[in-house]
């Protein structure tokens, strides 16, 4: 069936994989990628599908009321998959207001514009909001996992802004019967991950023999999922999820930060032909992140049992694919670290 789907944040890490998943698997859909190209947006992430006939890029800000209204008039969207966000916890500690603007106000602007454009006739429409497990707060006991009914307890400005946006999405469903679906996913890793986040930062620093900054004692635990498996889950939930429902997405794959960093060191040493243990010497313990959440762990059994999703790769396979991708794409990371990534591609796409 023909559909016009708006994906927001499709030049970012996860959004670029979601855009590719939809553009390549659904030639009958038209995918419109709306992205403001903030520091985290990089058109190089989706250069391979940029000229596909069922794909259009629109540069714009989700907080811009008039722009978003015009976009909904220009395209008669059947669905929205909303990923655009400020996404880095450390930045949210330094500048919370940027997170309120994009994550809260931007999301409400999209909800409101879609509601008005769809004129309360929601037949066949859906608004899919992509969220995080960080809204649930932190876990202490090893036998505890986040389920869809876990009480919200956000503890960083990032997670508070995402929790707030989730509340607005549910409020639109309750108040206006607006057709929403939410998913809350654990930490992602994979190709095109911006090198301010743990895994790509460590890979790049190991390559450059720079210090590997581990916060606190490295005891914090994250549950890692390969980004392409997140994109596959979003596809399944968008098509088969029940309106009004929430689905947790996770890989059942918990790692203490320090163990993960050591694994990256040994993997990179082997791939780069370095002496065993060489990169571990770069590990540098630094002051802990303010309010650092101890442990996240997702129970994804609702998604697995009700919609039949499961991860396609093990962590060993996903991490090997990720390291191999960085080893063959140093240009990608160099363009980011030298600041060229936006200029070059904006010119190529005649944007700005």
Active site residues: 133-134, 158
Question: Out of ligand NAD, ligand TYD, none, which partner does residue 40 contact, by CB within 5 to 8 A per kind?
Answer: ligand NAD
Please say whether the beta carbons of 66 and 53 come within 8 A: no
Residue 41 vs 179, nearer CB to ligand NAD: 41
Find the helix or strand (DSSP H, E) in which 33 lies: strand 29-35
Counting contacts by CB under 6 A, is residue 38 touching ligand NAD?
yes
Contacts (CB under 6 A) with ligand TYD, residues 251-270: 257
Which lies closer to ligand NAD via its Cβ, residue 220 or residue 279? 220
Regarding 254 and contact with ligand NAD (CB under 6 A), the answer is: no
- 198 lies in the binding site for ligand TYD (CB under 6 A): yes
Query: Is residue 161 a contact point for ligand NAD (CB under 6 A)?
Result: no
Give the nearest distance from C-beta 257 to ligand TYD in angstroms.
Answer: 5
Q: Scan residues 98-157 and list those touching ligand NAD (CB under 6 A).
A: 102, 106, 130, 132
87 binds ligand NAD (CB under 6 A): yes
220, 246, 253, 279: which one contacts ligand TYD (CB under 6 A)?
220
Instruction: Determine contact, residues 207/291, Cβ cutoff 8 Å.
Output: no
- By a kind-dependent CB cut-off of 5 to 8 A, residue 190 interacts, out of ligand NAD, ligand TYD, none, with none
Which of 20, 30, 155, 222 is the binder for ligand TYD (CB under 6 A)?
A: 222
Is residue 188 within the footprint of ligand NAD (CB under 6 A)? yes
Lookup: tokens for 229: 């498996």
Where would I find the H helices in the chain?
Answer: 13-25, 65-74, 89-94, 96-99, 107-117, 157-176, 198-207, 227-240, 257-272, 301-307, 315-328, 330-337, 340-348
Candidate residues 30, 33, 41, 279; the one interacting with ligand NAD per rule CB under 6 A: 41
# binding residues, ligand TYD (CB under 6 A): 12
- What is the CB neighbour count within 10 angstroms for residue 189? 25
Q: How far is the CB of 267 from ligand TYD (least distance, A)?
A: 17
Integer Cα distance of 249 and 309 in angstroms: 9
Rounded to whole angstroms, the Cα distance separating 92 from 104 reads 13
CA 222 to chain centre: 15
89 is a contact residue toward ligand TYD (CB under 6 A): yes
Q: Count CB neighbours of 328 within 10 A.
A: 10
CA distances from 98 to 93, 158, 197, 270, 316 (A): 10, 10, 18, 40, 36
- Contacts of residue 127, Cβ cutoff 8 Å, sequence gap at least 6: 79, 80, 82, 110, 111, 114, 169, 172, 178, 179, 180, 181
Residue nearest to ligand NAD (CB): 12
The piece of 61-69, 195-203, 231-239, 245-253 that touches ligand TYD (CB under 6 A) is 195-203
Q: Which is nearest to 155 in space by CA: 170, 185, 133?
A: 133
Which position among 5, 6, 7, 9 is part of the footprint of ligand NAD (CB under 6 A)? 9
For residue 43, what are its two tokens? Answer: 């058109």
Using CB under 6 A as the criterion, what x/- string covers residues 53-72 for binding ligand NAD?
--------xxx---------
Partner interacting with residue 198 (select from ligand TYD, ligand NAD, none; CB below 5-8 Å by kind): ligand TYD
Please report, to the nearest 10 degrees, the dihedral formed by the alpha carbons of residues 319, 196, 229, 152 taken in order: 130
Residues that bind ligand NAD in the complex, under the rule CB under 6 A? 8-9, 11-15, 35-38, 40-41, 61-63, 83-87, 102, 106, 130, 132, 162, 185, 187-188, 194
């Amino acid at each position: 069936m023909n559909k016009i789907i708006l994906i927001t944040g499709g030049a970012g890490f996860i959004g670029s994989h979601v855009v590719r998943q939809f553009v390549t698997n659904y030639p009958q859909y038209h995918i419109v990628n709306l992205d403001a190209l903030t520091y985290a947006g990089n058109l190089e992430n989706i250069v391979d599908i940029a000229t596909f006939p069922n794909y259009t890029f629109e540069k714009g800000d989700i907080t811009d009321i008039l722009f978003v209204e015009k976009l909904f008039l220009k395209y008669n969207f059947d669905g929205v998959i909303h990923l655009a966000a400020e996404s880095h916890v450390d930045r949210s500690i330094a500048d919370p207001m940027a997170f309120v603007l994009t994550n809260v106000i931007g999301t409400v602007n999209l909800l409101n514009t879609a509601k008005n454009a769809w004129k309360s006739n929601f037949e066949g429409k859906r608004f899919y909001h992509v969220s995080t497990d960080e809204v649930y707060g932190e876990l202490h006991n090893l036998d505890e996992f986040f389920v869809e009914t876990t009480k919200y307890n956000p503890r960083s400005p990032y997670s508070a802004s995402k929790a707030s946006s989730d509340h607005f999405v549910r409020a639109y469903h309750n108040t206006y019967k607006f057709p929403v679906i939410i998913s809350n996913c654990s930490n992602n890793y994979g190709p095109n991950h911006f090198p301010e986040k743990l895994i790509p930062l460590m890979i790049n620093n190991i390559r450059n023999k720079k210090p590997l900054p581990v916060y606190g004692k490295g005891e914090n635990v994250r549950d890692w999922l390969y980004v392409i498996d997140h994109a596959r889950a979003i596809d399944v939930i968008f098509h088969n999820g029940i309106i009004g429902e929430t689905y947790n997405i996770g890989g059942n794959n918990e790692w203490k930060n320090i163990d993960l960093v050591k694994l990256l060191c040994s993997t990179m040493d082997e791939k780069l032909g370095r002496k065993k243990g060489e990169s571990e010497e770069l590990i540098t313990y630094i002051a802990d992140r303010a309010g650092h959440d101890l442990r996240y762990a997702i129970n994804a059994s609702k998604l697995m049992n009700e919609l039949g999703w499961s991860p396609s790769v093990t962590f060993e396979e996903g991490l090997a694919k990720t390291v191999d991708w960085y080893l063959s794409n140093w240009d990608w990371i160099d363009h980011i670290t030298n600041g060229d990534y936006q200029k070059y591609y904006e010119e190529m796409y005649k944007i700005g």
